[in-house]
Amino acid sequence: MVTEHAMDTEGARIIDGKSIAAAVRGEVAQRVAELVARGIQPGLDVVLVGDDPASQVYVRNKDRAATRAGFRVRTHRLSAVTSQAELEALVDRLNADDEVDGILVQLPLPRGLDSDAVVRRLDPAKDVDGLHPFNVARLWMDRPGLVPCTPAGCIEMLDRSGIEIAGKRAVVLGRSLLVGKPIAALLLARNATVTICHSRTPDPAAVCREAQILVAAVGRPELVRGDWIAPGATVLDVGINRVETADGAGRLVGDVHFEEAHARAGWVTPVPGGVGPMTIAMLLSNTATAAANRRGRTSA
């Protein structure tokens, strides 16, 4: 077959998260402009507790992307020794502030803080991470409200690449609340046949080999090798792992061995430049949605 021959020689097609994310951000900027034209300035408040260097970088990137899309952005930086009560008092204040449309509490929180309690405290209408139990329940009831950003980004990448979901066998590697479970729910809602693999699955490679759509979200560098992948499958790599290199510089790798996946898959996302940029784009999209919903929707 012509397509198979082309795949043998050229490898999988790359799903370019960077350019898809840029397109989504452009559409969000348009929605924000429409709100501003109606006299509404949508606002995002980001809460960062402690000084984890990776979290600092992510929060800076979110702030910059949101500002460029036209949002009012405030980042609240709290010390690592902030108490549960202080953090919840800030959430209460942001919940009560009518100018705040989206609240994002950067996770993980430092040791000793109860992130479940903080997430439960959020106004579900402002929960742009889609992690409040109310939004989680809506997702599994096929009436999604605010959907977790990384899973939403995965679906967006499939849709914008013209990859059919309905009727496909999908395997999700990982069962976290932030990624694995919500991706499984979204794929199921789109009529895929979904299997979730995890650390206690006896032969994950064999299960993954059945997948027409494979989502890797376990945080284990290059766990998924070429022989885990069915020829022609679509592979979404959610992992972002920093690994040591001989020169000491370090580099980012996903949960998938990219070269081996590229040689076998039909479509594959790179790391970096794949799912990561989509996460931020979908955060902006959720914030625009929250603003439109909260402030009386006529468009956007």
Ligand X SMILES: Nc1nc(=O)c2c([nH]1)NC[C@@H]1CN(c3ccc(C(=O)N[C@@H](CCC(=O)O)C(=O)O)cc3)C=[N+]21
In the complex, which residues of this chain contact ligand X (CB under 6 A)?
58, 61, 104-107, 129, 149, 240, 252, 271-273, 276-277, 279-280
Nearest of 241, 245, 246, 249 to residue 224 by alpha carbon? 241
Annotated binding-site residue? 83: no
Catalytic residue among 129, 168, 181, 237: 129
Q: What is the DSSP letter of 127?
A: B
Asked if the bond preceding 108 is cis, omega within 30° of 0, the reply is yes
User: Facing residues of 102 across strands?
Assistant: 44
Least distance to ligand X, CB of residue 266, Å: 21
| 41 catalytically annotated | no
Which pair of tokens denotes residue 141?
């009831």
- The verdict on whether residue 120 carries a ligand-binding annotation is no
- Calpha distance 242→259 (Å, rounded): 17
Smallest distance, ligand X to C-beta of residue 252, A: 6
25 is in an annotated binding site: no
Helix (H, G, I), strand (E, B) or coil at 107: coil
What CA–CA distance (Å, rounded) separates 108 from 131?
A: 13
d(CA 9, CA 85): 59
User: Of 173 and 178, which has the nearer Cβ to ligand X?
Assistant: 178
* Residue 199 annotated in ligand binding: no
Is 51 known to be catalytic? no
Cα four-point dihedral sign 58, 287, 135, 18: negative
As measured in angstroms, the least distance from the Cβ of 37 to ligand X is 29
Contact 21/275 with Cβ under 8 angstroms? no
Closer by beta carbon to ligand X, 20 or else 105: 105
Q: How many residues can be counted in the chain?
A: 300
Dist. CA 58–CA 211, nearest whole Å:
31
> Phi and psi (nearest 5°) for 296?
85, 105
Least separation in angstroms between residue 276's CB and ligand X is 2
Given the complex with ligand X, which of 40 and 237 has the nearer CB atom? 237
DSSP letter for each residue of 246-278: TTS--EEE-SB-HHHHHHH-SEE--SSSSHHHH
Question: Is 98 an active-site residue?
Answer: no
CB atoms within 10 A of CB 81: 10
Interior CA angle at 183 toward 230 and 278, to 5°? Answer: 95
Catalytic residues: 62, 106, 129
Per the annotation, where are the binding residues for NADP(+)? 174-176, 240
Per the annotation, where are the binding residues? 174-176, 240
